Amino acid sequence: MKTLQDWLDWQLRLHPREIELGLDRVREVWMRLGAPAPAATVMSVGGTNGKGSTVAFLEAMLAAGGHRVGAFTSPHLLRYNERVRVAGEEADDEALIAAFERIEAARGDIPLTYFEFGTLAALLIFAASRLDVAILEVGLGGRLDAVNIVDADVAIVTTIDLDHQDWLGNDRELIAREKAGIFRAGRPAIIGELDPPRALCAEASRIDASVFAAGVDYRYEVAARGWLWQSGSLSLQLPRPGLVAPCQYANAAAAIAALYMLRERIGWQAQAIIDGVANAQVAARIQRFPGPPELIVDVAHNPQAARVLAEWLSRNPAAGRTIAVFGALADKDVGGIVTPLQGLISRWHLAGLDADSARGLDAGTLGARLNPEVSRRIAGHHADVRSALSAARDEAGDYDRIIAFGSFFVAAAAIASARATDW
């Protein structure tokens, strides 16, 4: 295998299942690789939604404070290299290929999934990069996710909601128990949700983690021009986050809480936190491309994320209509995603994702899952995101806006199209 794409294609064929939770296989390969520490300090970020944004806040705050930071996130949007960043730069093909070669030499007959290969590669690259801090985004799970082979010095759980029920359970309490598996005894466990499932706190206590919870151990209050973060006698006056969704205050507050709990280890730099809050960016989180018509791209792919998007759209009404480009994977709660948004969207262009993923729904099947109110507003069924976006743009007037959402595949295609056409 000569190119990065060759390696990625081969990894997808290597394991018979796209997802296989469990730590025994990936831990054994990691041990064979010598299990080098990825950084002097490790942070892990789990939860249903908000993980990528919280990683971005941590990365920006720490970098502003002069720390050398590595960040592992998934999935990517446009390039696999996005998943592994060192000091703000994406890992190059050569570094990823070298890591994959080491993993392949060590694994023997142990099968690894695509995600497990990527996790191990990130850890190897970080270990060789002399990092002060490594930030690891947990995948769909927690307890049995490949990232959990590393004992993080602080772990954050952002939110708990229904998603990936086939693997994690059918209610918030069951999912919370799985997500709490990233906590460690005696180490800080940041709970970023104001009303978390009882099981999350109970499991953290059972593990004997050092719980630091929103609304209890730290608080934040949003004002007209900024916001306040407070714990005990310490308070910070902060600017509005550069990320605009209403939930970003909670994500930024959880990131600050993690830094606070590690302050004796990595220091506490108020100005760096202020700068990081203002400057953190991550693609496809209410990402706006000016028009006319304006294009808004968001990865909202589960009901909780859709409610956040709906709240932002309600607070920021369009001068004209809002036209949706929507696609989804087969294991998603399509009804739960569209319901919070249906009263805010005038027209729906459905995009097939069956060519992007084995789990992708074609536009016809997606349409059959929609409720009658949304079905009456369907403007067209399209083979892919690009054609759906083109049709939406042809339909939109100068005062309308287009919102592309429902999956990382939708967001990736919309961003690529917008950049290619100089939207």
- Report angle CA 201, 206, 212 to the nearest 5 degrees: 40
d(CA 157, CA 161): 11
Residue 14 has pLDDT above 90, yes or no: no
Amino acid 338: pLDDT: 97
Report H helices in 76-227: 93-107, 114-127, 165-168, 172-179, 198-207
Candidate CATH numbers 3.40.50.10190, 3.90.190.20, 3.40.50.620, 1.10.3720.10; the one for domain 287-420 = 3.90.190.20
pLDDT at 22: 73
How far apart, in whole angstroms, are the C-alpha atoms of residue 143 and residue 151? 12
* DSSP string for residues in 33-58: TT---S-SEEEEEESSSSHHHHHHHH
Q: Which residues contact 233 (CB under 8 A, 6 or more apart)?
A: none
**3-state SS class at 351:** strand
Q: How many CA atoms lie within 13 A of 283 on its CB side?
A: 20
Do the beta carbons of residue 409 and residue 357 sit within 8 Å? Answer: yes
DSSP 8-class letter at 156:
E
- Provide the H-helix boundaries in 334-423: 334-338, 363-368, 372-375, 385-395, 408-420
Whether 164 has a pLDDT exceeding 80, the answer reads no
Question: What is the C-alpha separation between 126 and 39, in angstroms, rounded?
Answer: 7
For residue 372, pLDDT beyond 70: yes
Quote the CA–CA distance of 143 and 102 in Å, as a whole number.
Answer: 26
Tens-place pLDDT, residues 118-156:
999 999 999 999 999 999 999 877 888 999 999 999 999
How much of the chain exceeds pLDDT 90, in percent? 89
Q: Is the pLDDT of residue 167 over 90?
A: no
Main-chain phi, psi angles of 86, to 5 degrees:
-125, 120
pLDDT of residue 224: 84
pLDDT band per the 50, 70, 90 thresholds, residue 161: confident
Lowest mean pLDDT of 1-5, 34-38, 112-116, name the range: 1-5
Write down the mean pLDDT value for the chain.
94
| Backbone angles phi and psi of 210, in degrees to 5 | -90, 90
Task: Give the integer Cα–Cα distance in Å for 89 and 81.
Answer: 9
Residue 2 confidence class, pLDDT cut points 50, 70, 90: confident
pLDDT digits (tens, 9 = 90+) for 224-254: 889 999 999 999 999 999 999 999 999 999 9
Percent of the chain with pLDDT over 70: 96
Domain ranges of the chain: 4-279, 287-420
Give the chain's end-to-end CA distance (angstroms, integer).
Answer: 37
Tokens (6 digits) for 349: 């262009």
- Quick one: which of 157, 314, 343, 318 has its CA closest to 246? 314
> What is the token pair recorded at 13?
């064929």
pLDDT tens-digit series, residues 58-90? 999 999 999 999 999 999 999 999 999 999 999
What does the pLDDT read at residue 162? Answer: 64
For 274-290, write each residue's pLDDT tens digit: 999 999 999 999 999 99
**Tens digit of pLDDT for each residue in 204-225?**
999 999 999 999 999 999 998 8
Closest CA to 350 of 313, 321, 301, 387: 387
Mean pLDDT score, 317-321? 95
In contact, 156 and 86? CB cutoff 8 Å: no
- Which top CATH class is 4-279? alpha beta
Which amino acid belongs to residue 169?
G
Looking at residue 291, its pLDDT comes to 84
pLDDT-derived band of residue 169, with 50, 70 and 90 as boundaries?
Answer: low
CA dist., res. 43 & res. 291, Å (int): 39
Is residue 16 very low, low, confident or very high in pLDDT (cuts 50, 70, 90)? low
